Amino acid sequence: MDTSALDALKLLAGSDLPGLIVVDRHSRPMTILPGTQVLRMAIPRYCIDDPTLARVVDEEHADDFLHDLADRTVEQCLPQQTRELAFVGPEGTVLEIAALMARTRTPLVVVSIGQDMLGAITLDALVDRMLLT
Amino acid sequence: MDTSALDALKLLAGSDLPGLIVVDRHSRPMTILPGTQVLRMAIPRYCIDDPTLARVVDEEHADDFLHDLADRTVEQCLPQQTRELAFVGPEGTVLEIAALMARTRTPLVVVSIGQDMLGAITLDALVDRMLLT
């Protein structure tokens, strides 16, 4: 939650993951950001809502938005509205996890018991498992 | 459009891509499916809408859904409602593409002129480009 948004973007770029799990100071999972929603933190709201406005910002000024990112934390950039979280218990079935990923449009699911994170499952790993059976 | 949904799922699993570009018989891009929405094709609608139902289908029967997939084409599995497509022209800016990915929640964007596809840009490639500047 208190990582800078710029570091979060770098973490996503340096990993082979389709998104990031956001944790609090006690490493408890708070939410999951698909890659597109990590990217969203780097873009001014008016550009997301209106494609025409994004088009008229020239490349030089576009870089300024990245500099601003270093001053904001992930917590400050999180969406206001709460959405269904892609969290599943250790007893979750393959079909249940697949349905959860499809419904929440999140290619990364947290496996947890209460507030404790046991691990995570990526869409790639899940599909590999489905095709093996 | 006429690839079987099972082959589409295998293609996603075998690629290093975050989604698939769906083309018609003339290789013209029709839509883009993020990985989670390729996965959605493999899951019965009632399981997506209701997590409780997904949970009660046992693993043995879950495999049956995959067999059914071989008999349906991608076209038959596409969502009915039309959404904004993550298509951009060759003059698109980095900021415009980032805003498009964030808004459409699609980590893969088609670069096209009219109906002709020139190429595609992944979220990973875009973020790498943003961080280099």
pLDDT computed for residue A132 by the predictor: 84
ipTM value: 0.89
Interface with B, mutate which of A57, A95, A96, A124 (most B CBs under 10 A): A95
Q: Do B102 and A62 lie within an 8 Å CB cutoff?
A: no
Distance CA A124, CA A121 (A): 8
Could you list the mean pLDDT of each consecutive 10-residue stretch along chain B, which spans 133 residues?
A: 94 92 94 94 85 76 76 89 87 92 95 94 94 78
Q: How far is CA B98 from CA A7, A90, A98, B124, in A?
A: 17, 35, 27, 11
Phi, then psi, of A51 in degrees rounded to 5: -60, -35
Q: Do A54 and B95 lie within an 8 Å CB cutoff?
A: yes
On the question of pLDDT at A88 being above 90, the answer is yes
In this predicted model, what pLDDT tens digit does every residue of A91-126 receive, in sequence order?
999 999 999 999 999 999 999 998 899 999 999 999
The answer, for B93 touching chain A at a CB cutoff of 8 Å, is yes
Nearest CA in chain B to A89: B55
On the question of pLDDT at A127 being above 70, the answer is yes
The beta strands (E) that lie in chain B are given as: 19-23, 29-34, 87-88, 108-113, 116-122
Q: Using a CB-CB distance cutoff of 8 angstroms, which residues of chain B are in contact with residue A37?
A: 102, 105
Q: Using a CB-CB distance cutoff of 8 angstroms, which residues of chain B are in contact with residue A34?
A: 36, 105, 107
pLDDT computed for residue B133 by the predictor: 59
Give the closest of A36, A62, A124 to B105, CB-based. A36
Residue A71 in contact with residue A7, Cβ under 8 Å? Answer: no
In this predicted model, what pLDDT tens digit does every residue of A34-81 receive, in sequence order?
999 999 998 888 888 887 788 887 766 777 777 778 889 999 988 877
Q: Do B55 and A93 lie within an 8 Å CB cutoff?
A: yes
The answer, for B122 touching chain A at a CB cutoff of 8 Å, is no
Residue A68 in contact with residue A47, Cβ under 8 Å? Answer: no
Query: How are beta strands B108-113 and B116-122 bridged, if at all?
Result: antiparallel
